[in-house]
Structure 1
Amino acid sequence: EPFYISGSRIVREGWLRYLPYFKSADVILPQLKEGEKVQVLNKEILAKETQPPPRYTQGRLVEKMEEMGLGTKSTRHSIIKSRDDRGYVVGNPLVPRETGIAVASTLIKHAQKISSPEMTAELEQDMDRIVEGLHQKDQVVGRSREMLDEIMEVMEKEREEIAADIRNGVREDEVVGKCRTCGKDLRIKRARKSRKRFVGCSGYPQCTEAYPLPQKGKIRSTDEVCPDCGTLRITVINKGRRPWTICLDPECPTKKELVGSGRKSKRGEN
């Protein structure tokens, strides 16, 4: 088991010479020779957990795309917009939703080549070489078609499994929690006539538990329960605005607090 030691010392004082309030914190390493035995003065066992890397922010994602050669300055914005419109991620830093995870996992499982950043970067480079006159357009297009034909053939054979995997992810995103009346899933649904979204029990028509929802913004479940009314709480995410958390009951006293603080809360629209 290797052991490490680190130290530091000021080599040149510079402006520190004229700052009397600064105290040097040099750590001078002892002169040691290979094979020399040292005395252990103290030891301790630290209980720590491995921390995951920080989530990507929008800015860091653009930087990463640039580093990997994905998209161009003019196309990266539309790529990110498509991702947001499809509801694959929420927030900033970015948190993947179940739909996004399902799509990514399914592509990696059934069509790994098309989902690899290397393939996308290679296509971008080929297009640049066409502009520079180093590649022929027909040659690049022909190679791309052959590759896509192979991928589409595989996906066509496994379309039922692919559809089921993605469908399960979408269903997970539709679930906001458990119904307090019957215990079944509360899901985000849309009214047949008005097409307005609302939360309804999956046990309908036996259970008629239902709540209105804001008609704009993405909805994310929180697994929290409102202490005032006992209904589930959700987070509403609108582009360009700070996410806000509300409970499902439109008659909850906390809704009056939102109105008083400048948030409008109308029955049917929250």
Structure 2
Amino acid sequence: MTDAKVMRTNIKTNIESKNIPDFVTRGSRVIFDGWLKADPAARGEDVEVPKIKENDPLTLVDINNEGKETQPPNRHTEAGLIKELEKRGIGRPSTYASIMRTIQERGYVEKEGRTLIPTDTGDVVSSFLEEHFTDYISDDFTAEMENELDEIAEGKREYEKTLRDFYTPFTKAVGAKEDIPKLTSLGDVPKEFLCPICKGEMEFKLSKNGRFMSCKKFPECHGARKADGTEIEPPKELGEKCPDCGEKENGQLIEREGKYGRFVGCSRYPKCKYIKQDENNLNSTGVKCEECGKGEMVEKRGRFGPFFACSNYPDCKHAMKTRPTGKKCKMCGKLMMQGTKTIPERCEEKNCPMHRPDKIEGRT
């Protein structure tokens, strides 16, 4: 059958005698029915507008107002985000999967069902880039760079000159930002939560352990609360020098709150990462330390949770993330340690192929 001809039309209506904004009607007019003559329902919900000319007078039949609140757009799914990237000319089909994987692995978004939810880390990174590197995260820059890379792949552009043209100004831009303060703020907290020390205003901040409330006067004031408003007990000085830096840098041992409870560490953290171990709670694995041959591998608890290290610390600093099995690696001779559900056992040495035995060719 013959194609139908439809004209898309916008009609702008003005009420001259009233202080009312213009109204816009969007619809279409059928110029030639064609196959629509046999199937009028195929037009769906498309609005058919009347045939009128510019400046035609219209009669106001009725007018009503209705209050509505603006609703935020729905969260993206992976498919929806890929569709948005395609719309903006960002990325290529070969890179979409890695983009989705990267934003989740780096903790910028979390997946709830099929929906991608931005994290606090994602908010901070986004705010930092928008404030300091606007030119490099714009849609136009990204799309243009994608086109240039396509031209390099097609042999139409020299890759060395393209990289120089990008990298020279980018290096200068990064260098100019080296001394700016670290961006961790996530906005103000509810007014009922005041600093437990100075009673001043607080703000949400992001740390390695997640969101918390911090006094706006930091570092002059160290008042802090947990994300739910619970007061965090301030660090307690113990009157002891840090064994690692106390003599040279005057580091002091303090008891403070960590992700896994209270622990004793150096006041100069993160410049000094000394953590005092509770000798009464050392849990021996019965595995001899292969580094010094004197101590045993024992379970310890540090700032970031449990780990396994030589009991002869600080003379021996041999440590590993998970419990040693007592076996030695057949490829490098280092200790084997517990792995995961899919890799029950692996070598402690990161450079050894047996650290990731699942990647060794021929193994299943």
Matches within 5 A, 1:11-160: 14=38, 34=55, 36=57, 38=59, 40=61, 42-90=62-110, 91=112, 92-158=114-180
Name the larger-Rg structure. 2
State the shift of 1:27 in Å. 8.9
- Is 1:89–1:96's contact at 8 Å kept on the other side of the alignment? yes
TM-score by length of 2: 0.41
TM-score by length of 1: 0.53
With over 3 angstroms needed to count, the CA separation of the structure-2 counterparts of 1:68 and 1:193, relative to structure 1, is same
The DSSP-based 3-state class of the residue aligned with 1:178 is coil
Residue in 2 aligned with 1:178? 228
Question: Normalized per residue, which structure has more strand?
Answer: 2
The DSSP-based 3-state class of the residue aligned with 2:259 is strand
The DSSP-based 3-state class of the residue aligned with 1:118 is helix
The DSSP-based 3-state class of the residue aligned with 1:94 is strand
Aligned length: 183
The DSSP-based 3-state class of the residue aligned with 1:193 is strand
With over 3 angstroms needed to count, the CA separation of the structure-2 counterparts of 1:128 and 1:177, relative to structure 1, is same
* Aligned equivalents of 1:196, 1:134: Cα separation in 2: 53
Deviates more, 1:27-36 or 1:76-85: 27-36
Structure 1, unmatched stretches of 5+, are: 18-25, 198-270
Deviates more, 1:7-16 or 1:133-142: 7-16
Deviates more, 1:60-69 or 1:8-17: 8-17
- Is 1:57–1:93's contact at 8 Å kept on the other side of the alignment? yes
Residue in 2 aligned with 1:225? none
- Is 1:56–1:93's contact at 8 Å kept on the other side of the alignment? yes
State the shift of 1:54 in Å. 2.5
AA in 2 matched with 1:93:
T
- Between the two proteins, what is the percent identity of the paired residues? 24
AA in 1 matched with 2:228:
K
> Which of 165, 169, 178 is equivalent to 2:206?
169
- Is 1:106–1:162's contact at 8 Å kept on the other side of the alignment? no
> Which of 289, 293, 301 is equivalent to 1:193?
301
With over 3 angstroms needed to count, the CA separation of the structure-2 counterparts of 1:39 and 1:134, relative to structure 1, is closer
AA in 2 matched with 1:189:
K
- Is 1:7–1:28's contact at 8 Å kept on the other side of the alignment? yes
State the shift of 1:53 in Å. 2.6
Structure 2, unmatched stretches of 5+, are: 1-20, 42-46, 187-203, 213-225, 234-256, 262-299, 307-364
* Aligned equivalents of 2:23, 2:171: Cα separation in 1: 55
With over 3 angstroms needed to count, the CA separation of the structure-2 counterparts of 1:155 and 1:44, relative to structure 1, is same
* Aligned equivalents of 1:184, 1:171: Cα separation in 2: 18
CA deviation digits over 1:173-217, x for unaligned, max 9? Answer: 4357436xxx326998246727559xxxxxxxxxxxxxxxxxxxx
* Aligned equivalents of 1:35, 1:95: Cα separation in 2: 50
Query: Bigger relative contact order, structure 1 or 2, given CA contacts below 8 A and separation 6+?
Result: 1
* Aligned equivalents of 1:125, 1:98: Cα separation in 2: 32
* Aligned equivalents of 2:55, 2:89: Cα separation in 1: 47
With over 3 angstroms needed to count, the CA separation of the structure-2 counterparts of 1:4 and 1:116, relative to structure 1, is closer
- Is 2:129–2:137's contact at 8 Å kept on the other side of the alignment? yes
State the shift of 1:3 in Å. 4.0
